[in-house]
Chain A
Amino acid sequence: MRLTKLLERVLSAIPVALGVAVLAFMFLRFLPGDPVEIMLGDTQVSQQQLDSLRSQLHLDKPLLAQLGIFLSGLIRGDLGVSIVKNAPVAKLIGDTLPATIELTIATVLVGILIAMPVGIISAVRAGSWLDRTALSGALVGISMPAFWFGLLMILLFAVELRVLPTSGRIAATMVVDKTTGFMLVDTLLAGNLKAFGGALKHLILPALTLGVVFAAVLARVVRTSMLEVLGKDYVTTARAKGLREWGVILKHALRNALIPALTVTGLQFGELLGGNMIVETVFAWPGLGRLVVSSIFARDYVVVQAAVMLYALTYVGANLVVDALYTLLNPRISL
């Protein structure tokens, strides 16, 4: 992709991001209930304290002025301060993001590890019982409500087999120094293999839950694009040259069949980086998704605004990266 084209794409994403910022700002302002009173709950405070809290949140200013403050803060990289959690929003997001990134990477890995072999074999042996089984399995996976699937996994691995923990990132008794925020990395850095194993065990169930559902989507995409590619002339040519069948499949066909799979994976990655609200809730995974859900319920505007901005940016960013990777895999596509 030429640099100017890339720049053009980045620039065209700006109005979208700005629009989302304004939309997020507006729609939270219209939620019923006085945010300050909801934030305080039952605590008794004087009118004076109420007023000072309001002015701290700029809630005493007109809507347009509030929007201006929010947007100018964004430009300066200042996301504001959450009164509910009494912490800067940037810190709250920074604390939860590693957990979400860790889960995202694990999910995508699980998805790829399941979907690639299944999709490829399904396409190569199209119509066989293997293919039919894989297709039905994928359809079940696609129809599966993820939160319920998560509960089933808990039921099987935690309640029946008692082999895996059900919630959190690590046992409460384990103390790990936080350096990167990535539990798997931190435990290794500390040289604490027992904690590393514990963290890995905590990761398995949420990653499997999301990964299996993702694999269902991905396997279908891999299968269809493999089928299409396997019918192409150059594959016939490669076979006619006497190349070994699996060599043809893996070297000649797969590379081109990967493009649609890459799109789906990239978009999935972008979406998951926003945190999976439902699965993070089911497994009490302390990631961004749970932060956002609890903030919506607590009317914690400042956090929700910032998180929604982050979502929009990752979404737009993921689209951009996918497009850029396209041209790498297939130089004939130019943006």
Chain B
Amino acid sequence: MNRAAGVFATPLGRISATIVATYVLAAALAPVLAPYGPEAGDLAQRLAPPSAQHWFGTDSLGRDILTRTLYGARVSLLVGILTVAITAAFGTVVGAVGGFYRGAFDAVVGRVTELLLAFPYLIFAIGMMAFLGPGFANLVAALSLKGWVEFYRLARGETLDQGQREYVEASRALGQKRPRTLFREVLPNVLPAISVLSTLRIGYFMVLEASLSFLGVGIPPNIPAWGSMISEGRGVLFIAWWVSTIPGIALLVLVLAINLLGESLQEVYAPRNKRRGFARPAVGKVR
């Protein structure tokens, strides 16, 4: 029954799935795999270029970049997956209920989302983080507070569309309770689109987290995160290219693999949507 497995039918799908799986494993096993401690700095080895000892070189405190990049994967993956789990669950339920029942609830939520959309995401997140203070949970909260809107809009649109179908009318004619129709009949048909958006949004949230950490309002500096590592490397860009470059490549490859996975998933579920640029709002840039 699991159509999602169709992702593995294409070489591109298999490659991207393998890359993502490798990252997840590397993040989980970071303490075992990493050659050094994430905070262990050797001041004699400051800004050492890539070598046999330090494959990816060291930063300005003499910390091993490979080690910190491995640990950084934990932050990125956790932020991406947790934020998507929260926003997808909340946005989908609110959107499906709004699109199914319409009425006052739908109208009110619609206005709220318009307000949230008029706020640029990055300003919203920077402001929230300035309010909450840097930290992992705060970051997920700040991202979630606005991130659910995309899921809401997709779920509402799909539910509106499904609501017109004959099977909904049929279940009503059969005397089925409305909530049961929504959750047992309509929602399963909305989920494929949601799962595509979820995949694409993981990459988006990871870039957003890195941007905030880059600005110094994301993950606190004592936890290795790719965004703050890139930011640290900015000061020494002219003498040590590897400090910023390596974590950036790690981020790019992971986001690319996730986006590829999302596109493969989309092709499996809804090839017709491809022509309509269905993925556009999901993959975007961070401002």
Q: Which residues of A contact B (CB under 8 A)?
A: 15-17, 19-20, 23, 27-28, 30-32, 139-140, 142-148, 151-152, 154-155, 159, 213-214, 217, 220-221, 224-225, 227-228, 260, 264, 271-272, 274, 276-278, 281-282, 292-293, 296-297, 304, 307-308, 311-312, 315-316
- B211, B230, B237, B274: the one contacting A154 at CB < 8 Å is B237
Residues of chain B with a CB closer than 8 A to A146's CB: 211, 285-286
- Taking A152-B245, A227-B275, A296-B130 as contacts, is the C-beta distance between A277 and B123 under 8 angstroms? yes
In order of increasing CB-CB distance, the 3 nearest A-B pairs are: A148-B248, A143-B256, A312-B118
Chain A's nearest CB lies how many Å from the CB of B262? 10
Q: List 7 A-B contacts (CB under 8 A).
A: A23-B115, A147-B214, A159-B241, A220-B280, A278-B122, A278-B211, A315-B120
Q: Is the CB of B251 within 8 A of A145?
A: yes
- Taking A16-B118, A151-B244 as contacts, is the C-beta distance between A278 and B215 under 8 angstroms? yes
Q: Is the interface of B mostly helix, strand, loop or mixed?
A: helix
Residues of chain B with a CB closer than 8 A to A20's CB: 115, 118-119
A276–B248 Cα gap in the complex (Å)? 19
- B179 interfacial contact with A, CB 8 Å: no
Chain A's nearest CB lies how many Å from the CB of B169? 30
Chain B's nearest CB lies how many Å from the CB of A131? 14
A159–B280 Cα gap in the complex (Å)? 35
Closest chain B residue to A309 by CB distance? B118
Q: Is the CB of A145 within 8 A of B123?
A: no
Residues of chain B with a CB closer than 8 A to A15's CB: 111
A154–B236 Cα gap in the complex (Å)? 12
Q: Is the CB of B255 within 8 A of A145?
A: yes
A16–B284 Cα gap in the complex (Å)? 24
Residues of chain A with a CB closer than 8 A to B259's CB: 139, 142-143
Chain B's nearest CB lies how many Å from the CB of A124? 16
Residues of chain A with a CB closer than 8 A to B260's CB: 139
Chain B's nearest CB lies how many Å from the CB of A176? 27
Closest chain A residue to B122 by CB distance? A277
A146–B234 Cα gap in the complex (Å)? 14
Residues of chain A with a CB closer than 8 A to B275's CB: 224, 227-228
- B182 interfacial contact with A, CB 8 Å: no
Chain B's nearest CB lies how many Å from the CB of A193? 30
Q: Is the CB of B255 within 8 A of A277?
A: no
- B17 interfacial contact with A, CB 8 Å: no
- A147, A220, A274: the one contacting B230 at CB < 8 Å is A147
- B126 interfacial contact with A, CB 8 Å: yes
Closest chain A residue to B234 by CB distance? A151
Q: Is the CB of B127 within 8 A of A148?
A: no
- Taking A139-B259, A159-B237 as contacts, is the C-beta distance between A260 and B277 under 8 angstroms? yes
Q: Is the CB of B276 within 8 A of A31?
A: no
- Taking A23-B115, A152-B248 as contacts, is the C-beta distance between A311 and B123 under 8 angstroms? yes
Q: Is the CB of B284 within 8 A of A277?
A: no
Q: Is the CB of B285 within 8 A of A148?
A: no
Chain A CB within 10 Å — which of B111, B114, B120, B284 has the most?
B120
Chain B's nearest CB lies how many Å from the CB of A274? 6
Q: Is the CB of A214 within 8 A of B285?
A: yes
Residues of chain A with a CB closer than 8 A to B251's CB: 145, 148
Closest chain B residue to A17 by CB distance? B118
Residues of chain A with a CB closer than 8 A to B214's CB: 147, 278
A143–B249 Cα gap in the complex (Å)? 11
Chain B's nearest CB lies how many Å from the CB of A109? 17
Residues of chain A with a CB closer than 8 A to B241's CB: 155, 159
Q: Is the CB of B119 within 8 A of A311?
A: yes
Residues of chain A with a CB closer than 8 A to B248's CB: 145, 148, 151-152
- Taking A221-B277, A296-B130 as contacts, is the C-beta distance between A145 and B118 under 8 angstroms? no
Q: Render B223-267 as a binary contact track against A, CB cut-off 8 A, 1 for contact.
A: 000000010011001100100110010011001100110010000
Q: Is the CB of B237 within 8 A of A151?
A: yes
- A213, A260, A277, A311: the one contacting B285 at CB < 8 Å is A213
Residues of chain B with a CB closer than 8 A to A30's CB: 131
Interface residues of B in 130-162 (CB under 8 A from A): 130-131, 133
- Taking A278-B122, A292-B123 as contacts, is the C-beta distance between A16 and B230 under 8 angstroms? no
Residues of chain A with a CB closer than 8 A to B244's CB: 148, 151, 155
Q: Is the CB of B277 within 8 A of A155?
A: no
- B287 interfacial contact with A, CB 8 Å: yes
- B79 interfacial contact with A, CB 8 Å: no
Residues of chain B with a CB closer than 8 A to A144's CB: 252
Chain A's nearest CB lies how many Å from the CB of B65? 15
Closest chain B residue to A224 by CB distance? B277
Q: Is the CB of A27 within 8 A of B131?
A: yes
- B120, B131, B274: the one contacting A311 at CB < 8 Å is B120
Q: Is the CB of A277 within 8 A of B287?
A: yes
A155–B260 Cα gap in the complex (Å)? 28
- B283 interfacial contact with A, CB 8 Å: yes
A125–B140 Cα gap in the complex (Å)? 43
- A142, A214, A281: the one contacting B215 at CB < 8 Å is A281
